[in-house]
């Protein structure tokens, strides 16, 4: 009887569509597992394809290439231990599944299909995959291993949900191995641990939660894989936001399988958000082949934080800062921008834009004749800056990093220095109040693997002085917006929680302020659709998981919600519908 079982967890960073590169990573992981004497090496969900592949996975050529790579890996596993469990798309009976393939002794010895397909938030798997059946465990070197895939452990109360873990426990599984593609958001670690502890409690089985790491467009996967013993104690914890290959030694006693592995600290809160922004930008630039980045450096806090993130992600030699001053730019802003560039050791230049702005105004003078001067002329500053940044990008190949924070993007105020248009925005999902917190945090801490200098890199004056947006010829944003703590408090309820306006007012916010912010949020939808992608760190970002129509006349009046009148609904209606649907 087997009393020792070694499992290697390959918490790796795949690239969507790079089948050959992902297969090479799998081979490397298997080589390390073999050197450690492992029986099984496990890779994350859909690893060979990269996750999430979205509609790419519907292409027959892509499906065939993934299968060919899995078959080649299977042949290579004819050399003995370890076996490999790897995620892949798989076509069976004309249906496409999110699958895990077990490769043993030169063969694909078993396939397991994801039964519960997430279709909320950033997930849209029901569009592309068929539901798999709940199936029993696979056998690896005499050990019965249950393989629920990601959502198969996130038990929900619905008629169509397959209780895969219960099925595995009833069919003799000894240990659960869960391959995941679970993106980072705040407090996600606690949520994953809570869900996994519940599955362990229900099944009485130890559980390994393996998550991928890396950035994919707007999503960042933080890894942070872990293992639980059957008594719900933490058996091992892998680090977050870095690749890691760890072999866990499980021993079997009278109470089943047990492990005592390494426990790494996991980043939480602001530290987790900052690390996600760094990793998201690094992988977006690296996986898309940009040689480096450039950005407008205004002397303000948003561009300062983005510059720090960029240097931590890519190194100072791949970051270029450009100050684009106009007549309203204060000397203090010029001084602070120069100090920032020096502290971060980045290439920095000053390109005055007065001639360009005046030129645009001269061109438009006849067209605008007789019309009052307004925000149109004022925003020519921003348009000019964006044009110049994109020109440098086109000439050098460097990607423009945009710098609009979530607070100002929410209400349509993000236009300065190309902070809406460009390649990628690392703080797109960061509210202004957190921009201040992250700036202070970065001056005393940086994540593992950060390439920027230690210590104070964002001048204190940038953090403490009132922010200027030059949207109204050097007025501050808060001349026309409420204080940022109030603005963010309202936006968090509107965007993250989607609360009725009446509830937000009841929480203590002024009715006129709430209704104004709601109006600005609605009318800025078309602007946000034109914005660059950016890292997701909150429950709902302006991108993949918050989808509102641009053309939309509904407005919440801010009154208590009307009560439903159940007396108007015939009780026979539901029964009639059920009969009609068979």
- Report which DSSP code applies to 356: H
Let me know whether 245 and 302 are in one domain: no
Q: Six-digit token pair at 488?
A: 């963010």
How far from each other are the two terminal CA atoms of the chain, in whole angstroms?
Answer: 51
Does residue 45 have an active-site annotation? yes
Asked if 322 and 295 touch (Cβ cutoff 8 Å), the reply is yes
Let me know whether 208 and 188 are in one domain: yes
**Residue 437 is assigned to a structural domain of this protein:** yes
Instruction: Report the phi/psi class of residue 222: left, alpha or beta, with left for phi > 0 and alpha for psi in -120 to 50.
Output: alpha
The helix or strand, by DSSP H or E, that contains position 558, with its residue range, turns out to be: none
User: Can you give the pTM of this predicted structure?
Assistant: 0.91
Over the stretch 390-430, which tens digit does the pLDDT of each residue have? Answer: 999 999 999 999 998 999 889 988 664 455 567 899 999 99
Return the ∠ at Cα 197 (arms to 229 and 148), rounded to 5°: 85
Let me know whether 248 and 280 are in one domain: no
Does residue 114 have an active-site annotation? yes
Give the gyration radius of the chain's Cα atoms.
Answer: 27
Let me know whether 284 and 252 are in one domain: no
Q: Six-digit token pair at 266?
A: 């996991």
Mapped onto helix, strand or coil, the DSSP state of residue 224 is coil
Phi then psi for residue 211, to 5 deg, are: -120, 150
Instruction: Show which of 266, 301, 327 is a domain's final residue.
Output: 266
Q: Six-digit token pair at 491?
A: 């936006």
**Residue 534 is assigned to a structural domain of this protein:** no
Q: In what order do the strands lie in the sheet with 138-140?
A: 138-140, 143-146, 175-180, 207-211, 226-228, 234-237
**Residue 577 is assigned to a structural domain of this protein:** no
**Residue 372 is assigned to a structural domain of this protein:** yes
Q: What is the DSSP string of 16-52?
A: TT-HHHHHHHHHHHHHHHHHTT-SEEE--TTTTT-S-
Domain tally, the chain: 2
Let me know whether 437 and 393 are in one domain: yes
Asked if 66 and 49 touch (Cβ cutoff 8 Å), the reply is yes
54: Cα within 13 Å, side-chain hemisphere: 8
Asked if 146 and 173 touch (Cβ cutoff 8 Å), the reply is yes
Q: Which residues of the chain have pLDDT under 70?
A: 1, 156-158, 414-421, 467-479, 572-582
What pLDDT does residue 474 have? 39
Give the whole-angstrom CA distance, residue 476 versus residue 466: 7
Instruction: Show which of 220, 245, 266 is a domain's final residue.
Output: 266
Does residue 150 have an active-site annotation? yes
Structural domain of 301: 271-529
Let me know whether 223 and 284 are in one domain: no
Provide CB contacts within 8 A for 228, sequence distance 6+. Answer: 196, 197, 200, 206, 207, 208, 209, 234, 235
CATH number at residue 175: 3.60.110.10
- Report which DSSP code applies to 133: P
Let me know whether 504 and 466 are in one domain: yes
**Residue 278 is assigned to a structural domain of this protein:** yes
Let me know whether 291 and 211 are in one domain: no
Give the whole-angstrom CA distance, residue 181 versus residue 273: 18
- Report which DSSP code applies to 421: S
**Residue 567 is assigned to a structural domain of this protein:** no
Let me know whether 221 and 277 are in one domain: no
Q: Six-digit token pair at 94?
A: 């004309």
Let me know whether 123 and 233 are in one domain: yes
**Residue 482 is assigned to a structural domain of this protein:** yes
HEC string for 459-503: CHHHHHCCCECCCCCCCEHHHCCCCHHHHHHHHHHHHHCCCCHHH
- Cα 582 versus chain centre, distance: 41
Q: In what order do the strands lie in the sheet with 347-350?
A: 347-350, 319-323, 293-296, 399-400
Give the whole-angstrom CA distance, residue 414 versus residue 161: 42
- Owner of token pair 């204060």: 330
Let me know whether 21 and 72 are in one domain: yes
Catalytic, out of 66, 77, 150, 277:
150
Give the whole-angstrom CA distance, residue 556 versus residue 514: 11
What pLDDT does residue 339 have? 96
Give the whole-angstrom CA distance, residue 424 versus residue 428: 9
What pLDDT does residue 262 have? 94
What pLDDT does residue 476 have? 45
Let me know whether 98 and 209 are in one domain: yes
Catalytic, out of 6, 25, 114, 536:
114
Instruction: Show which of 229, 244, 266 is a domain's final residue.
Output: 266
What pLDDT does residue 81 have? 85
Provide CB contacts within 8 A for 370, sequence distance 6+. Answer: none
Provide CB contacts within 8 A for 335, sequence distance 6+. Answer: 299
Give the whole-angstrom CA distance, residue 262 versus residue 251: 15
**Residue 223 is assigned to a structural domain of this protein:** yes
Question: For residue 457, which of 472, 470, 474, 444 has the smallest C-alpha distance?
Answer: 444
Question: For residue 57, which of 126, 134, 135 has the smallest C-alpha distance?
Answer: 126
User: Do the bridges between strand 83-92 and strand 40-42 make them parallel or antiparallel, or are there none, so unpaired?
Assistant: parallel
Phi then psi for residue 572, to 5 deg, are: -75, -15
Q: Six-digit token pair at 62?
A: 């892509």
What pLDDT does residue 472 have? 40
Return the ∠ at Cα 84 (arms to 79 and 88), rounded to 5°: 130
Provide CB contacts within 8 A for 36, sequence distance 6+. Answer: 6, 8, 247
Give the whole-angstrom CA distance, residue 582 versus residue 576: 10
Asked if 34 and 276 touch (Cβ cutoff 8 Å), the reply is no
Give the whole-angstrom CA distance, residue 439 versus residue 432: 11
Give the whole-angstrom CA distance, residue 552 versus residue 564: 24
Asked if 262 and 423 touch (Cβ cutoff 8 Å), the reply is no
Catalytic, out of 25, 45, 66, 408:
45
What pLDDT does residue 363 have? 94
Q: At what angle do helices 269-287 and 432-442 cross, to 10 degrees?
A: 90
- For 212-318, where are the E strands, in sequence order? 213-216, 219-222, 226-228, 234-237, 244-253, 256-259, 293-296
CATH number at residue 439: 3.40.50.620
Give the whole-angstrom CA distance, residue 154 versus residue 116: 9
- Cα 140 versus chain centre, distance: 34
What pLDDT does residue 8 have? 97
């Amino acid at each position: 009887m087997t009393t020792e079982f070694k499992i290697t967890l390959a918490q790796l960073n795949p690239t969507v569509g790079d089948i050959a590169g992902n297969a090479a990573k799998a081979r490397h992981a298997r080589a390390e597992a073999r050197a450690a004497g492992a029986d099984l090496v496990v890779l994350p969900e859909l690893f060979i394809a990269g996750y999430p592949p979205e509609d790419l996975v519907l292409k027959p050529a892509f499906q065939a290439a993934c299968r060919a790579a899995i078959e080649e890996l299977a042949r290579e596993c004819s050399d003995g231990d370890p076996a490999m469990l790897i995620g892949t798309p798989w076509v069976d009976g004309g249906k496409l599944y999110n699958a895990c393939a077990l490769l043993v002794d030169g063969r694909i010895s078993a396939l397991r299909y994801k039964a519960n397909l997430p279709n909320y938030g950033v997930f849209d798997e029901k569009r592309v995959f068929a539901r798999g059946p709940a199936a029993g465990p696979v056998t690896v070197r005499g050990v019965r291993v249950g393989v629920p895939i990601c959502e198969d452990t996130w038990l929900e109360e619905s008629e169509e949900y397959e209780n895969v873990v219960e099925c595995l426990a009833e069919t003799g599984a000894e240990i659960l191995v869960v391959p995941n593609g679970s993106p980072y958001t705040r407090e996600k670690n606690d949520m994953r641990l809570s869900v996994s502890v519940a599955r362990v409690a229900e099944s009485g089985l130890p559980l390994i939660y393996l998550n991928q790491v890396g950035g994919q467009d707007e999503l960042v996967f933080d890894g942070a894989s872990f293992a639980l013993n059957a008594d719900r104690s933490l058996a091992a914890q892998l680090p977050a936001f870095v690749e890691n290959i760890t072999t866990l030694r499980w021993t079997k006693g009278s109470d089943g399988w047990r492990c005592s592995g390494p426990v790494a600290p996991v980043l939480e809160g602001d530290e987790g958000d900052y690390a996600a922004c760094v990793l998201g930008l690094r992988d977006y630039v690296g996986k898309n082949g940009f040689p480096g980045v450039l950005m407008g450096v205004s002397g303000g806090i948003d561009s300062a934080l983005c510059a720090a993130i960029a240097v931590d992600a890519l190194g100072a030699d791949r970051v270029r800062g450009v100050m684009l001053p106009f007549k309203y730019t204060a000397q203090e802003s010029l001084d602070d921008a120069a100090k920032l560039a020096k502290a971060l050791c980045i290439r920095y230049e000053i390109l005055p834009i007065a001639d360009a702005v005046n030129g645009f105004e001269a061109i438009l003078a006849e067209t605008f004749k007789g019309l009052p001067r307004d925000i149109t002329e004022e925003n020519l500053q921003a348009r000019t800056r964006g044009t110049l940044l994109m020109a440098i990008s086109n000439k050098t190949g460097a990607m423009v990093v945009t710098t609009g924070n979530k607070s100002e993007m929410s209400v349509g105020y993000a236009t300065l220095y190309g902070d809406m248009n460009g390649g990628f925005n690392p703080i797109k999902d960061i509210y202004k109040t957190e921009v201040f917190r992250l700036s202070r945090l970065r001056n005393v801490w940086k994540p593992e693997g950060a390439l920027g200098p230690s210590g104070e890199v964002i001048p204190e004056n940038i953090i403490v002085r009132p922010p200027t947006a030059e949207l109204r010829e050097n007025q501050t944003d808060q001349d026309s917006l409420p204080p940022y703590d109030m603005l963010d408090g309202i936006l968090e309820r509107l965007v993250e929680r989607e609360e009725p306006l009446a509830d937000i007012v009841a929480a203590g916010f002024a009715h006129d302020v709430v209704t104004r912010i709601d109006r600005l949020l609605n009318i800025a939808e078309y602007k946000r659709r034109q914005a660059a992608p950016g890292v997701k760190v909150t429950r709902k970002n302006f991108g993949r998981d918050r989808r509102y129509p641009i053309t939309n006349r509904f407005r919440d009046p801010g009154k208590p919600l009307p009560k439903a009148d159940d007396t108007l609904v015939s009780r026979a209606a539901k029964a009639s519908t059920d009969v009609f649907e068979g």
